[in-house]
Amino acid sequence: MAPDKLIAWSLVVPVKVLARAKSRLVGLAGEDRAALVLAMAADTVAAALASPSVAAVIVVSDDQAVRRELASIGAVVVADQPGAGLNSALMFGAEHAAARWPARGRAALTADLPAMTAAELSGALTAASTATQAFVPDSAGSGTTLYTAGPGVAFRPRFGALSRAEHLRAGATELALPEISGLRQDVDTLDDLRIAASIGLGRRTAGILAEAAPEGPRASRDPRARCGEH
């Protein structure tokens, strides 16, 4: 059932300092891994900014390269002042958003969704408009890629190990998406990256992979990368 009134969303995206990010991407040198992490974050943020449901993207990061790159494509960038982990960074970003735009819903999105499209995110946020709190599970079925809290609702993300169960336990509504979905396909390992590539990558991540060795993951030639959805 479509919601009676669509909510405008402030979307918080946390990005680690690149030198410490994605240590499970084994097989990539530190410099290559940092470039890939930044590309994935940029593709994620670009797709979010292209969604008509998203009124603003707030990036929480202490990395100067991340801050420059994501501010240049339209994100509001704030430092991770709590410095106390993922959920604290998300709550800090949401507090910043609530202070500036109190009538909006607030949402948290992981920064490693290079195959996500604006249309997928819009569909999920539209569905979330009918719930006080909602979330999208990751492709593995144990984690979370998107969490939402409607206007005036306490923002209490529970990202981390087994976060799907934690969000369900807290009463958040699980949003049904296809198993093969860019919004569900976060990237922690090279195998995850290969699956994301088979779905269709954003142009920045695809560009990084185009320079990779022949045995590395290959970028899909998905036309969505040329249609403003990535």
pTM: 0.89
Q: Which residue has the tokens 């779905």?
A: 199
From 16-30, 138-152, 170-184, 204-218, the region with the lowest mean pLDDT = 204-218
Domain that holds residue 114: 9-151+160-226
CATH number of the CATH domain containing 80? 3.90.550.10
Which residues fall within 8 angstroms of residue 128, CB to CB, at 6 or more apart? Answer: 7, 105, 107, 134, 146, 148, 150, 173, 175
22 confidence band (pLDDT: 50, 70, 90): confident
Contact 188, 24 (CB under 8 A): yes
Assigned domain for 116 exists: yes
Residue 3 resides in a domain:
no
- Distance, CA of 110 to CA of 125 (rounded, Å): 15
Per-residue pLDDT of 42-65, as tens digits, reads 999 999 999 999 999 999 999 999
Residue 198: inside a domain: yes
Under 8 Å between Cβ of 79 and 70: no
Residue entry with tokens 């969303």? 9
In a domain, residue 142? The reply is: yes
Q: Could you report the per-residue pLDDT of 208-225, keeping only the tens digit for each?
A: 988 864 444 544 434 333
Q: Residue 4: inside a domain, yes or no?
A: no
Cβ neighbours of 189 (radius 10 Å): 13
212, part of any domain: yes
CA 185-37-215 angle, 5° bins: 75
